[in-house]
Structure 1
């Protein structure tokens, strides 16, 4: 049983209170079980309040997408780290719940949208009229960079009222505690556009993407994160 599974089980037990309809005996039994599990597995209060979720990304243009993944962390009051796995690149979000789950939901939505819009662009006349593999690649990068920029602006506006500095700071501290050997990476260099037409198409595509505040498997209704 991994640490995250244990944490979730403890949090389920925390819901067994008299205010929620449990008897005093049931609430006391749950409290005793919580204390036992926390001692046994070395869990702290932060372990219970701070969640962790990870999403897998398979993309060859991760340099262009990194700013988006970082912005998602800022929007959801979480902290993020990337790890390279055999199956692809894993983006891990740590923070106060439901921040991490919302972050991975947005990660999935945005990356799937980028992949779908890029595939559509590659079927278009502009991309297909590029004769060389190198010029087609430049066109695709210009398209993706502009699309990501548009998504970043939209998310920034969407979550403007949900940012909480204290929660974000706690998330960063918790990330450092969970991943003490992690190293920071240098910010990506600003992308230099070769084809204005490709960049314009990417910007327009970024406006078409449907963005919701929802959680995977839940509704798209706005959620207030980082607030009591």
Structure 2
């Protein structure tokens, strides 16, 4: 049954390519469009489903220094939630830390772009805040750096999750896409376990400073990278 459905989807994609712009006559293009409409109706399909099944998957990786990489996983998970893709990070203790996104090509690319904006903001704001701790003992500086980054990560994660609009009624395409992504990961032999054990340091004053810094990061550029806008808008509205 799955093989039959796949063949029907392939046939629909071929018919949709039969246009005047691609060398067909107007009569041939009209006939092809009529066949597409008939196949969709006979097999209870939509063009959205055809498009989703024909869109390639891609994986985007980012390498980050240890202090930011060990704390930005919460931000990465929020970004994956917003962009409708999967994410994972390298094992604890591996440096540099690698964050990976996997999903439909345009969505994983947008996710990586937004992560780059957040990691750069965390790096720059930490550098500015650390100047005030320059005379503290090394262990105090480390504690403050960690708490500050925890605060920024929690703040950015919350803000990014809030950007996703409510799902409209009828989520069949969302379920379909999620299933296709999971099936592709399984085909690639990729399985994951959650091994995170650390918790954010919310007691240090620098955590509050990090939260405040995270509130000031402009996230709009991450939603509108060059020639990538349509993908995220579409995924958010499905």
TM-score normalized with structure 1 length: 0.69
Does the residue aligned with 1:116 lie in a helix, a strand or coil?
helix
Q: Cα 1:172–1:80, aligned 2, differ >3 Å: closer, same or farther? A: farther
Q: Cα 1:106–1:60, aligned 2, differ >3 Å: closer, same or farther? A: same
Which among 192, 201, 212 is matched to residue 183 of structure 1? 192
1:193 paired with 2:208, answer no
CA contact (8 A) 1:82 1:90 kept: yes
Q: Cα 1:170–1:187, aligned 2, differ >3 Å: closer, same or farther? A: farther
Q: Cα 1:169–1:59, aligned 2, differ >3 Å: closer, same or farther? A: farther
Paired with 1:226 and 1:157, the residues of 2 have a C-alpha distance of: 12
Aligned residues: 193
Question: Corresponding residue for 1:203?
Answer: 211
Question: Corresponding residue for 1:36?
Answer: none
Q: Give the unaligned 5+ runs of structure 2.
A: 1-12, 29-50
Question: Corresponding residue for 1:224?
Answer: 234
Structure 2 counterparts to residues 126-145 of structure 1, below 5 A? 127-129=133-135, 131-145=136-150
Paired with 2:223 and 2:167, the residues of 1 have a C-alpha distance of: 14
Question: Corresponding residue for 1:49?
Answer: 55
Q: Cα 1:181–1:112, aligned 2, differ >3 Å: closer, same or farther? A: same
Give the root-mean-square deviation of aligned CA atoms: 3.5
1:60 paired with 2:70, answer no
Which among 153, 159, 162 is matched to residue 164 of structure 2? 159
Indicate the structure with greater helix content.
2
Does the residue aligned with 2:87 lie in a helix, a strand or coil?
strand
Paired with 2:71 and 2:81, the residues of 1 have a C-alpha distance of: 17
- Structure showing greater radius of gyration is 2
Q: Cα 1:20–1:106, aligned 2, differ >3 Å: closer, same or farther? A: farther
Structure 2 counterparts to residues 17-32 of structure 1, below 5 A? 17-19=17-19, 21-24=21-24
TM-score normalized with structure 2 length: 0.67
Q: Give the unaligned 5+ runs of structure 1.
A: 1-12, 28-44
Paired with 1:201 and 1:142, the residues of 2 have a C-alpha distance of: 9
Q: Cα 1:99–1:66, aligned 2, differ >3 Å: closer, same or farther? A: same
